[in-house]
């Protein structure tokens, strides 16, 4: 009920901006990129409305993300439709009880109407699902864009971000290319907890993906956060540090101070993982190869190659460096996938 009221409030505020009455289309489409947090979201102050303990800053990765198509499914149509959504992921039809499909249908519960009692959802990820590469972020952002298209709401970005947040917190940031800031907000209603673009293109900024393991993670972020906030004494220090790191990183982006950005992002990620490790039962997303990769990054820095890492709720590392170091970093990490978020499309293809 609080979620329903929230969605109604978001739609009511957003629709003031668009004049025409909404008419349902035959099909809605959405695309959103994945994003990597430079200063992390970890912990919720409200699990129903998905309100975070702290704000965060991210960079979206063009070319990696989710494409989603939505179509209305009538419950009484001639084509033998059962009373549930029909969801496919990467070309595979999913059982309604499968966790991914179940979570998606619960989110769609908030948007059913008399005309659209059920949905057909066709979704394709260009990233491995649940491999710590934030597929839920691009997934819920793309889904909200597809809903906006299907119902022809024409919502502004702020409202889209608010709705995406309800599906997955990090999805609030995936509505924007480049850098994005998700404000924690203060209100109980949650209408002030949305992301916005930090419009500061940084042409030589690079992100490298070190894939340690792309298998589905055993403990998802939602459960991991619950475990950490419930059973970690160190966690009490986290929200304040995360807010400070967020401010430093925003400043570093605006000044294009890469050393400050990299050091703060790496320290922020390790601090977040420290809270996970210090919970009970312990939560350790790292594998032995993750630690070897971290040590490689530190060795490179000692040799004068300025590269930093960040990690999310999984074993993979994301490297942060500038284009001048691309050769040296790629030489040290064989098979490194390098993304240049601000590169022109033609140079992106060549890299
Ligand atoms: C470690 O957004 O996946 O990647 O809101 O429960 O869906 P839910 O969590 P999710 O958490 C992301 C956690 C993180 C850090 C980050 O992206 O900020």
pLDDT in the model for residue 80: 56
Burial pattern 115-142, b for ≥16 Cβ within 10 A else e, equals: ebbbbebbbebbbbbbbbbbbbbbbbbb
Cα(23) to centroid(ligand 1), Å: 33
Cα 20 to Cα 17, 27, 152, distances in angstroms: 10, 19, 9
Cα(170) to centroid(ligand 1), Å: 5
pLDDT in the model for residue 315: 93
Assess: ipTM above 0.90.
yes
pLDDT in the model for residue 75: 65
Structure tokens at 19: 């004049």
Burial pattern 100-113, b for ≥16 Cβ within 10 A else e, equals: bbebbbebbeebee
Mutate to test the pocket of ligand 1, among 169, 219, 274 (most ligand atoms within 8 A of CB): 169
Per-residue pLDDT of the chain (351 residues; tens, 9 = 90+): 899 999 999 999 887 555 455 689 999 999 999 999 999 999 999 999 999 999 999 999 998 999 999 999 976 555 555 689 999 999 999 999 999 999 999 999 999 999 999 999 999 998 755 445 657 999 999 999 999 999 999 999 999 999 999 999 999 999 999 999 999 999 999 999 999 999 999 999 999 999 998 777 789 999 999 999 999 999 999 999 999 999 999 999 999 999 999 999 999 999 999 999 999 999 999 999 999 999 999 999 999 999 999 999 999 999 999 999 999 999 999 989 999 999 886 655 444
pLDDT in the model for residue 77: 53
Ligand 1 nearest-atom number relative to CA 220: 3
Please give the backbone phi and psi of residue 166, each rounded to the nearest 5 degrees, phi first. Answer: -65, -30
DSSP state of 340: -
Ligand 1 nearest-atom number relative to CA 137: 2
- Residue 234's contacts (CB-CB under 8 Å, 6 or more residues apart) are 274, 275, 278
> How far does Cα 110 stand from its chain's mean position?
20
Q: What is the SS3 string spanning 106-152?
A: HHHHHHCCCCCCEEEEEEEECCCCCCCCCHHHHHHHHHHHHHHHHCC
* Torsion angle of the four alpha carbons 174, 180, 186, 188, in this order, in degrees rounded to the nearest 10: -10
DSSP state of 188: S
Statement: the pTM of the whole predicted model exceeds 0.90: yes
Tell me which residues have their CB closer than 6 angstroms to ligand 1.
Answer: 37, 40-42, 50, 56, 134, 136-137, 168-170, 221-222, 312-313
CA distance 42 to 293: 23
């Amino acid at each position: 009920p609080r979620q329903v009221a929230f969605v109604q409030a978001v739609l009511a505020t957003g629709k003031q901006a668009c004049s025409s009455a909404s008419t349902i289309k035959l099909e809605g489409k959405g695309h959103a990129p994945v994003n990597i947090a430079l200063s992390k979201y970890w912990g919720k102050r409200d699990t129903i409305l998905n309100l975070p303990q702290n704000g965060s800053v991210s960079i979206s990765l063009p070319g990696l993300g989710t494409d989603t198509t939505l179509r209305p499914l009538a419950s009484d149509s001639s084509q033998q439709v059962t009373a549930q959504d029909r969801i496919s992921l990467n070309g595979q039809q999913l059982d309604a009880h499968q966790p991914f499909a179940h979570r998606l249908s619960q989110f769609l519960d908030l948007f059913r109407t008399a005309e659209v009692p059920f949905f057909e959802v066709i979704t394709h990820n260009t990233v491995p699902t649940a491999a710590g590469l934030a597929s839920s972020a691009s997934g819920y952002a793309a889904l909200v864009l597809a809903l906006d298209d299907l119902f022809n709401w024409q919502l502004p970005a702020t409202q889209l971000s608010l709705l995406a947040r309800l599906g997955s917190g990090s999805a609030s940031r995936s509505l924007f290319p480049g850098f994005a800031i998700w404000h924690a907000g203060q209100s109980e209603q949650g209408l002030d907890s949305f992301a916005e673009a930090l419009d500061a293109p940084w042409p030589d900024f690079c992100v490298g993906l070190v894939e340690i393991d792309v298998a589905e993670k055993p403990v998802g972020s939602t459960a991991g956060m619950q475990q950490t906030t419930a059973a970690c004494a160190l966690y009490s220090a986290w929200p304040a540090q995360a807010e400070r790191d967020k401010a430093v990183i925003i400043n570093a982006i605006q000044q294009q101070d890469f050393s400050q950005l990299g050091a703060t992002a790496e320290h922020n990620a390790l601090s977040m993982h420290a809270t996970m490790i210090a919970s009970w039962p312990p939560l350790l997303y790292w594998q032995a190869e993750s630690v070897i990769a971290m040590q490689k990054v530190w060795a490179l820095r000692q040799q004068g190659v300025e590269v930093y890492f960040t990690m999310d709720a999984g074993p993979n590392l994301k490297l942060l460096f500038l284009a001048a170091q691309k050769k040296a970093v790629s030489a040290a990490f064989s098979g490194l996938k390098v993304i240049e978020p601000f590169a022109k499309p033609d140079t992106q293809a060549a890299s």
